[in-house]
Every structure is written in structure tokens, then in C-alpha cells.
Amino acid sequence: MPQAAQGRFAIQQPRILILGGSGQLGRELQRSFAGVGAVVAADRMACDLSSPDSIRSVLRGAEPNVILNAAAYTAVDRAESERELAYAINATAPGVMAEEARRCDALLVHYSTDYVFDGSKTGPWTEDDPTGPLNVYGASKLAGEQAVAAAGGRHLIFRTSWVYGPHGKNFLFTMLRLGAEREKLSIVDDQIGAPTTSVELADATRRIVEGIAAGRFGAPEDWAGVYHMTCAGQTSWCGFARAIFARAAAAHGAKVPELIPIASADYPTPAQRPRNSVLSNAKLAERFGVRLAGWEQALDAVFELLPR
Ligand SMILES: NC(=O)c1ccc[n+]([C@@H]2O[C@H](COP(=O)([O-])OP(=O)(O)OC[C@H]3O[C@@H](n4cnc5c(N)ncnc54)[C@H](OP(=O)(O)O)[C@@H]3O)[C@@H](O)[C@H]2O)c1
């Protein structure tokens, strides 16, 4: 395999540009890639994804070997009324990044979502299953996947689900706050998925990028494409909440509220969500030999990182 086909960052310290550096995943990518190369993280101030000119100027200035795009419009319900902005950030911006990545022969790593599916399947969704987003956020992320692939450069798209971690706004912190405030919590119990930590996502991404750089996975045509990347196992939002409160009680004696399992129909939201969000990680394991931890083990690890 010629060196160039393996990625030119294989032979020198790679320049790694992280977009969305202040988000949950962006922060963990900074931690995980710190020793891998020269890491530059851009937040919204440094690179506004709603402006293609801003993206081009940052990418041309940085001339990265690897672009990790952790930025996204992630307000699922608000996207229903901010369609244009959601598409600008989740669809147009990744397309511009992918064109720029191709221009400078960089590897673009982009993240997508379980919400590209309609949730109707019994069993885990594979990468070959038909997409059918139920909401604007999912549709905008699917358009982003398509734009990245269409640019024709070296790219990886990792679809993940129910992301949380030790930093940022997420379900874990919402539960801990509500649990301290209320005696009872009604939590949706008929949507299932795999809670996935930003920590596991960042570390799995690093292992794969390092493998590509070392030429372990062959040429781009052998590895480029869409992969599912979630923690193993599955639960409902109510099951996730139960696991959080069990750990909070054990770790710092937190009060455990009464959890009332409810149906999605009893918790109406502007955006409809898939019933079954569970993604199969078989392709990721087969192609890269990478498996993320089980969701409960990953939750334990995040609790270890929380301030006591
Ligand atoms: N969160 C989930 O449950 C979930 C589930 C499935 C897939 N994903 C995907 O996983 C990836 C990482 O998600 P996450 O949970 O880490 O998201 P997050 O914590 O919401 O972070 C998103 C980041 O995008 C930035 N951003 C938003 N609009 C921007 C703009 N106009 N210009 C520049 N930056 C902008 C935000 O900046 P500010 O800090 O300034 O707002 C933030 O740093 C995304 O691709 C997301 O779609 C997430």
C-alpha cells in the first residue's frame, strides 16, 4: 500500500482540527487526541457553522490532516421551528467541510444520529437499513451524511445515540437536577436505545483514526463510509434514569425520586422520536476491531469523573 493512500499524516505529527470544541463530544475529543498530534479546537466564536465562508476560512488557515466535526445543531425539539438553521449547520456545513477536506486531502470524521431511522424495526438497525427520519433534526443530519459522502473525499461518518458525558447539557445532569428538586419523575419508557458516553465515542474515534494513520485498515475505499458507534446494550429512558439514580445514591447518598414509567404519547414534544433507536455495532467491530463499553459500565466510568 503506497504511503499516500494510507493518509499523509502517517509520517509526521498530524494537524488535527476539532470543530464544536465546546460541546460534549468536542471536549472529550480534545482530551483523547491530545497526544496524537497538534490539536486545534474551534468553538462557535472561531468558526460559525452557519457561515460557509467562516468554515472555508478556518479550514484553509488550519490546513488540517484530520478534521473532527463534533459541532451540530442538537436541539431536537427546537429544530422543528428552526428548520433553516438546523439544515445550515447539520447539512450545508458538513458538505462545505467535506469539500474543503477533499481539497487539502484531509480525513473528515463526522457524527450523525440514530434519529435518521423511523424506529419501526424490531432489533438493532444496521447501516444498510432504509432511513426515514421522523423529525427535522434527523432529516437535517441525514442530509449532512449525504453531503459528506457526495464530496467524495476521505471520510468517516459515525452514527451514535443518546449522547451524554461528564460535561455539557445532557440527560444525566437533567436527571440529577430534577431528582434533587422533585419527589416523583415521569419518564418515557417506550423508546429504547443505547446511552453512549462522549468519553467512549472520543476514545473509539481516536483508536480508528490512529489505525488509519498507521495504515492498518488499508486504503480509503476499504474503510470510508457510515458506521454505527454506540455503547453496547439497550434500555429505555426510564431504565437509564433508574440506573443514574442508583449510582447517584451509591456515590453520594443522593435522594432517589419515585420513577413513573410513561408512554411517549403522555409526554408530547414538538419533535416525534423513534421507538427503537438501537443501532447494531457489528460493522464497526468487523472493520476496525473496535467495541465500545456496555452502557452501564460506561455510566459507572462517567460517575467516576463527576465531582464528589
Ligand atoms: N446529544 C445527543 O444525544 C446525540 C445523539 C445522537 C447523535 N449526536 C451527534 O453527536 C455529535 C456530538 O453531539 P454533542 O452531544 O456533543 O452535541 P453538543 O454538546 O450539543 O455540542 C454541539 C456543539 O456544536 C456547536 N455549534 C452549534 N451551532 C454551531 C454553529 N452555528 N457554529 C459552530 N458551532 C456550533 C455548539 O456550540 P455552542 O457550545 O456554542 O452551542 C457545541 O459546541 C453531533 O453530531 C450530534 O448530532 C448527538
Q: Flag whether 32 is in a domain.
A: yes
Identify the domain containing residue 223 by its residue range.
3-169+197-231+278-293
Q: Flag whether 98 is in a domain.
A: yes
Show pLDDT as tens, one digit a residue, over the chain (308 residues).
333 444 445 546 899 999 999 999 999 999 999 989 899 999 999 999 999 999 999 999 999 999 999 999 999 999 999 999 999 999 999 999 999 999 999 999 999 999 999 999 999 999 999 999 999 999 999 999 999 999 999 999 999 999 999 998 999 999 999 999 999 999 999 999 999 999 999 999 999 999 999 999 999 999 999 999 999 999 999 999 999 999 999 988 888 999 999 999 999 999 999 999 999 999 999 999 999 999 999 999 999 999 87
Q: Flag whether 255 is in a domain.
A: no
Q: Flag whether 91 is in a domain.
A: yes
* Overall domain count for the chain: 1
For 22, the grid coordinates are 465546546
Q: Flag whether 191 is in a domain.
A: no
Catalytic residue (one of 137, 164, 227, 267)? 137
Q: What single-letter DSSP state applies at residue 125?
A: B
Handedness of CA 133, 200, 207, 58 (dihedral sign): positive
Query: Ligand 1: which residue has its CA nearest to atom 2?
Result: 163
Atom of ligand 1 nearest to the CA of 88: 31
HSE value, Cβ hemisphere, 13 Å, CA-based, for 140: 26
Q: Flag whether 212 is in a domain.
A: yes
Q: Flag whether 7 is in a domain.
A: yes
Q: Flag whether 304 is in a domain.
A: no
Q: Radius of gyration (Cα) for the chain, nearest Å? A: 19
Query: Ligand 1: which residue has its CA nearest to atom 48?
Result: 163
Predicted local distance difference test score (pLDDT) of residue 4: 41
Closest CA to 158 of 206, 113, 125, 218: 113
Residue 163, ligand 1, Cβ within 6 A: yes
For 27, the grid coordinates are 471536549
- CATH number for position 36: 3.40.50.720
CA distances from 255 to 78, 178, 184, 223, 301 (A): 32, 11, 11, 47, 21
Predicted local distance difference test score (pLDDT) of residue 10: 54
Cβ(236)–Cβ(189) below 8 Å: yes
Catalytic site includes residue 137: yes
